[in-house]
Amino acid sequence: MTAMTSAPPRAPRGLFGELLDGRTYANFLYLLLAMPLGALYWLLLLAGIGTGVGLLVVLVGVGVLLGTLALIVGAADLERALAVLLGLDLRRPQRPRSSGGLLGWVRATLSDLCTYKALLFLALKFPLGIVSFTVLAVLGSMAVGLMSVPFLALNPDAPVFYQNEFGVQAALTPVGGVALFIAGFLMLVLSASVMNLMARGWAWLAYALLGDFTEGQSVQREVLALRRTTRALNVSGDLAATLADVTAQAREGSGATSTLVTVTDGPNAWRLGGASGVPDDFARTLAALTPALGFPGAAQAGHAQLITRPATLWRAHPDLRDLHPHLHGMPDGTLVTLPVVTNGELVGELHALYAPDAPPSARQLAFLASMADGAATAVTTARLVERATAAAGAQERARLARELHDSVAQALYGITLGAKTARAQLDRDPQKARESLDYTIRLAEGGTGEMKALLFSLRPDALDEGGLAAALAQTAHALHARYNLHVTTDLNAEPDLTPARKAALYRIAQEALHNAVKHARATGVQVTLLPDGDAWVLRVHDDGRGFDPNAVSGGTLGLKSMRERARDIGAILTVDSAPDAGTTITLTVPQEVQ
């Protein structure tokens, strides 16, 4: 941070206070140096820039321009040092050397907003110095002239001061001399006031253009922190990891010594969401004691709360004894608390602790408010994902129940019925009993295959372990065994696709085969999965009843589901069908979209 007073110091009060104050003479020295230094800056800058641009074609100008850039930086540092005469301390801390050498220094200097602010100050120095010098010269000459007249009148050879209309000459009287001296003294007081006023204007100009030299770096740091936070919100699916990233970026971008986010799970139920720069035990204890700390009221009002010397206040709080052991060594500066609100509901709080000598600025508070919004987005997203996961689980259980009822349960019922029929005919008609047993065996094999297919589809890693080709072959065998459907496959190669795309292909093939059995009433199905140039092509053809795709507005629910899955993986789905001509589902997945 810039070491400076919060604002230029005020001039001393009183009629003669300015003449007796040492700052007045320091201001006079600064104003006296303004014009010659400004002229020197103009001369060097115009010569450096003009010569550098003129010699740029022979590369010598590059060195001259680099020297001019160094001159700007050095002159700005000199002006910061001279600002002490105005009551300002604009000294810069020692900056670390650039790891990129000369090129790194040039890049850092040109990307620093302070460089251009300093150049503007140096450009204004000469014209404003002329104005300041002219005003001082006029007022000072008048004051000195009026005050010196009575002393000149004491000389016997004093000149005649005026001549009336009758030609009578007169010299200065004692009373007139005293009056002129008093007038000169008052002019001197006025000159001191005007001089201090001009010095105050110079101080504000120096404060604005030479102060806050870390502004450019602060803005870059804040922008980088916001970009990283946005990336974390888009990528991470874990709320704890996301909030840990948010607090780390909030600390990095705001200049706080430590940051943490607390999350509420209900009335008086708070927990730690994420922390940076603070021990875990302290962060968890602080989160658990949030209701006793008095934060929620201010947070629910939608305002930031600033507490100075929080450690001192917490030590005196009787309900915070569990927090007392963790306060040792804690910087007792300023604590900022901002609400984390989503849809008008308080879901958490963002806390940032600052050192005693570096309270947060308005810009830092605005940045923390943006980070609080990021934390709110993370909490909202996590809750939506949790609800979607619960809903998806319920839908998957309902789907599984339907599949079990339509396949395995019916197969078990058929097995039971076939076994009873075979037992009843075993003595009377062994041939029919044998046929019943064959039917029962086919049902058992079909039920086993469908059960394996269901179990296979319930495992997220099943395609990774067995592969897409094996999964399609297993599904084809289950269809043959369950429905006595003639299924041919051409699945000799395993596609080089991502797991997500393999899963989408498997679901689309399942839906196509389900339609062939339930709706098309097909007797034969062909399933192929083959490479075609830079793509993989899945084709499911049945010899069923077919339909007119144009007659079905938007397609059936199954077709809509297949199109959505294809669109999600960047694939192309085509449906070729006609009444009494069967149906062909073709899915083309380009490899470059992996």
Cβ atoms 243, 273 nearer than 8 A:
yes
In what helix (H) or strand (E) does residue 259 lie, and over which residues does it extend?
Answer: strand 258-266
Sole residue written with tokens 């927990």: 271
Residue 299: per-residue pLDDT: 47
Residue 360: per-residue pLDDT: 82
CB atoms inside a 10 Å sphere around CB 387: 10
Residue 298: per-residue pLDDT: 46
Cβ atoms 500, 536 nearer than 8 A:
no
Cβ atoms 277, 258 nearer than 8 A:
yes
Burial readout 565-584 (b: 16 or more C-beta within 10 A, e: otherwise) = bbeebebebebebeeeebbb
Handedness of CA 502, 506, 511, 512 (dihedral sign): positive
CA nearest neighbour of 381 among 500, 238, 263, 244: 238
Sole residue written with tokens 């770096």: 217
Residue 5: per-residue pLDDT: 41
Per-residue pLDDT of the chain (594 residues; tens, 9 = 90+): 333 444 455 555 555 667 777 888 888 899 999 999 999 999 999 999 988 888 877 778 888 889 999 999 899 989 988 988 888 877 665 554 545 678 878 887 887 778 888 899 999 999 999 999 999 889 888 888 888 777 766 665 555 454 555 554 555 667 777 788 888 888 888 888 888 889 889 988 988 888 755 555 555 555 555 666 566 555 555 778 888 888 888 888 778 888 988 888 877 788 888 888 888 888 888 787 777 676 544 444 456 788 888 888 877 777 777 777 777 767 778 888 888 888 778 888 888 888 887 788 777 788 888 888 888 888 887 787 778 777 767 776 776 676 666 666 666 777 787 788 888 877 788 888 788 787 777 777 767 766 666 665 565 455 666 688 888 887 787 777 667 788 898 887 788 888 888 888 888 888 888 888 878 788 899 999 988 888 899 999 999 888 887 776 555 667 888 888 888 888 899 989 888 888 999 999 987 544
| Backbone φ, ψ for residue 372 (5° rounding) | -65, -40
Sole residue written with tokens 């001039």: 11
The Cα angle at residue 488 between residues 483 and 489, in degrees rounded to 5:
120
Dump the DSSP string for 117-167.
HHHHHHHHHHHHHHHHHHHHHHHHHHHHHHHHHHHHHTSTTPPP-EE-TTS
Coil, helix or strand for 419? helix
N residues, the chain? 594
Cβ contacts of 230 within 8 Å, gap of 6 or more:
374
| β-strand pairing of 486-490 with 524-532 | parallel
Cβ atoms 180, 149 nearer than 8 A:
yes
Residue 296: per-residue pLDDT: 45
CA nearest neighbour of 10 among 209, 212, 196, 210: 196
Cβ contacts of 411 within 8 Å, gap of 6 or more:
443, 444, 446, 447, 450, 482
Domains and CATH numbers, the chain: 22-210 (no CATH), 220-388 (3.30.450.40), 459-590 (3.30.565.10)
Residue 153: per-residue pLDDT: 60
Residue 15: per-residue pLDDT: 56
